[in-house]
Structure 1
Amino acid sequence: MRATSLTVGSAALAATLLLTACGGGDSGGEAEDGGQDTSACVLDEVGVEVGPANAAPVAGDTGNIPVTVTNQGAECTLDGFPTVGLQADAGSVTVPEEEAAQAQKLTLAEGTAATFTITYVRGETGGAGSLDVTRLKIGLPGAPQTRGFAWSYGPVVLVEGDAPEASVGAFQQAGD
């Protein structure tokens, strides 16, 4: 009986030592250089396509702008919402996450894509409650870099002073 107990104990000890040697299995993909997730997709290794949009034609209408992110490098993950900013001569604003959207963790193999949608309400050009947007800034979750794109969809309504009447949806797997 004692030999059986010792064998089970030795096996458990060996398994514990093996897990410890492998890093314990709880690293979460974090790097030792500041905690950034090493598997997160970064803008330098993805293609980003904005549109074609269902632009809002006149003030008060709602427009939708799809954005496609295609991985061009090693497998990476999108874990969270994209960051989106709108820039104008008068300043810039951050587009909030869509309240009803749920972020999901997506793994993108090389050549695969994910999409998200920016929804906005068009404002009046030069209006006091509008931001005459000229540039769109897009960032990926877990990465500090952004990429800029021309904005040709008209001004965006501002609510509560400086918040855009706009939202950014969660990433969805694109394709099959």
Structure 2
Amino acid sequence: MRAIPLTVTALAAALALTACDDGNAGNAGASGKNSSACEVGKVSVQVGSASVAPAAGDTGEVPVSITNQSAPCTLDGFAGVTLKAGGTSATLATLSGAKSEKLKLAKGDSATFSISYVRGKDGDKASLAATSVTVSLPGSDATESFPWKYGPVAGKGSADKPNATVGAFQQAGD
């Protein structure tokens, strides 16, 4: 009678360990079972339509949507976002307290993140008169640029330190 509880305990332990296995132990991605990082060019990226900050000092939100167009891929971390104005480029920080979650996107799946910004004063030296925004995805160096149509971005003391942040990815749709 004592053998049955030990067998059940051993089986339960084996199942628990199997549940923690990602199917890729010691293989570093060679199995092909795990999806790779999502890349600009293999996903479509759309910027807007935004909740534009109407006046200097107001806060605006610019949503960015990513839709997978190919094989399953993973978003693990935060998007890289750079605002550009003439010869000035400013990389945005992540939203304080935001936590990234690993998202797996099958073909056709979507995710979003938001760029939050404080509108600056037109012509102010401490505002970045951004004309474009460049987006990259975590784990990939590929980028895509889009027009920035949401007004100048207030600086934190100077134009090259914009008062703007990048939020975490969230699964979109069902």
TM range (shorter): 0.7 to 0.9
1:76 and 1:108 in contact (8 A); partners too: yes
Please say if residues 30 and 38 of structure 1, whose CA atoms lie closer than 8 Å, have aligned partners that are also in contact.
no
Q: Which runs of 5+ in 1 are unaligned?
A: 1-22, 32-36
TM-score (norm 2): 0.81
Counterpart residue type for residue 60 of structure 1: G
1:50-129 to 2 correspondence within 5 Å? 50-129=47-126
Asked if 1:167 corresponds to 2:171, the answer is no
Cα distance in 1 for residues equivalent to 2:124 and 2:27? 51
Structure 2 distance, partners of 1:110, 1:24, is: 22
Deviating beyond 6 angstroms after TM superposition, the runs of 4 or more aligned structure 1 residues are none
CA distance in 2, matches of 1:95, 1:26: 35
Structure 1 residues 131 and 157: alpha-carbon distance in aligned structure 2, compared to 1, 3 A threshold: same
| Alpha-carbon shift at residue 27 of structure 1 (Å) | 3.3
Structure 1 vs Structure 2 CA RMSD: 1.9
Unaligned residue ranges in structure 2 (runs of 5+): 1-22
Superposed CA deviations along residues 76-98 of structure 1, whole A, max 9, x for unmatched, are: 00000000000001411001000
Query: Does the C-alpha gap of structure 1 residues 91 and 25 become closer, same or farther in structure 2, counting only changes over 3 Å?
Result: same
Deviations 1:36-55 (A, max 9, x none): x9710111110111111000
SS of residue matched to 2:131? strand
- Structure 2 residue 146 is the aligned partner of structure 1 residue 158: no
Contact 1:90 1:131 in 2 (8 A): no
- When Rg is computed on C-alpha atoms for both structures, the one with the higher figure is 1
User: Does residue 144 in structure 1 map to residue 135 in structure 2?
Assistant: no
Q: Please tell me the residue identity of whatever aligns with 2:156.
A: V
Q: CA deviation at 1:29?
A: 2.6
Question: Contact 2:35/2:72 (CA < 8 Å) preserved in 1?
Answer: no
Q: Match of 1:159, as an amino acid?
A: K
2:126, 2:157 within 8 Å by CA — same for their partners in 1?
Answer: no
Q: Deviations over 1:121-175 (max 9, x none)?
A: 0001110110000000000001011100001000001114331101000100000
**TM-score, L = length of structure 1:** 0.80
% identical aligned pairs? 50
Match of 1:40 among 26, 32, 37: 37
Matches of 2:107 and 2:24, distance apart in 1: 28
